[in-house]
Homo-oligomer: A and B are copies of this chain.
């Protein structure tokens, strides 16, 4: 198994086991997010993702930075991934243009309240370069991601998406796609396996919705370093409760001997 775990500040997530488990926060208000963070932290995921595109105060940079600090406290030592998912790739509509989003990311990077950021690889290369510089200057890991919420591209294109993320300077390359058939699920797993063997950085993948849900448990066997599971509320179709994912992973580990 050449696949490698995600490291944040020099420490491998989940003690280096694949996959680590990440639970999203999708609250729309400060109070909802603080309650959600406490409830999610109690379930002890390896990573917590704040999906800031759900937050109604996203246009108020000081409020976001302050809330990041409060979520850091609520997370009780669990590292935090900061993510604005774009509308095009499955996120919520927000009242910011892309340079404003980038400025928000940079302010959050500088706050010291998060450990990693996720940004779509399809964004303007100049903005990507700026974020990479800001993330690394502050010791954060950069996830570069690709999502196809409508279908599953062919195998070669999927592998290229992982490779492109690495070329763009990602510390973690993430690909999430929607299956239209059982074959699409196998294509995503095969692409994950190939990418995990080719890339120097960890890869993360999932096939979404009910058809792809098994990849959220089995993906680690094919090199995916992280799986997203529901602590409070799902952020994408097909996410399973964290208890189910942990039970499934434990079962597979016993089985693999």
Contact = CB atoms under 8 A, between A and B. Distances in A.
A68 interface: no
A248 interface: yes
A248 B222 CA distance: 18
Please indicate which of the listed interface residues A217, A248, A251 has the most CB atoms of chain B within 10 Å of its own CB: A251
Contacts of A221: 182, 185, 214
Interface residues of A, number: 29
A185 B192 CA distance: 13
A247 interface: yes
A244 interface: yes
Copies of this chain, whole number: 2
A126 interface: no
A84 interface: no
Contacts of A247: 247, 251
Given A186-B189, A193-B186, A251 B248 contact: yes
A252 interface: yes
A137 interface: no
A60 B32 CA distance: 72
A222 B190 contact: no
11 contacts: A182-B222, A183-B190, A186-B190, A210-B257, A213-B255, A216-B255, A217-B251, A244-B254, A247-B251, A248-B248, A248-B251
Interface of A: 1, 182-183, 185-186, 189-190, 193, 210-211, 213-214, 216-218, 221-223, 238, 240, 244, 247-248, 251-252, 254-257
